[in-house]
């Protein structure tokens, strides 16, 4: 399952929101991947998320694969879209 979303907070996925995203992702059994600029990043790894260098206004695609993918997709998309 894929979800496309825009990061709208002023600083992008800097340390605090990246850490929060990682914490949320680790609560799920599903594999969760952040896709950005034709690269894939493990959403369960803080360093991986930070290395994506996602800025404000950037569009990302989150890919969810596993038994709880729908729940994970809903929670993470709500989190990303709620960043300000």
* 58 CA to centre of own chain: 12
84 in active site: no
| E strand map for 1-58 | 2-6, 31-36, 39-42
Options 3, 5, 14, 56, the catalytic residue: 14
Quick one: tokens of 39? 């690269």
Q: Which of 36, 30, 39 is nearest to 80 (CA)?
A: 36
Would you please indicate which residues are annotated as catalytic (active-site) residues?
14
């Amino acid at each position: 399952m894929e979800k496309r979303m825009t990061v709208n907070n002023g600083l992008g996925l800097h340390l605090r929101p990246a850490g929060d995203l990682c914490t949320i992702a680790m609560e799920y059994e599903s594999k969760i991947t952040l896709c950005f600029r034709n690269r894939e990043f493990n959403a369960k790894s803080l360093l991986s998320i930070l290395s994506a260098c996602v800025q404000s206004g950037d569009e990302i695609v989150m890919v969810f694969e596993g038994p709880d993918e729908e729940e994970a997709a809903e929670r993470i998309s709500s989190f990303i879209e709620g960043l300000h």
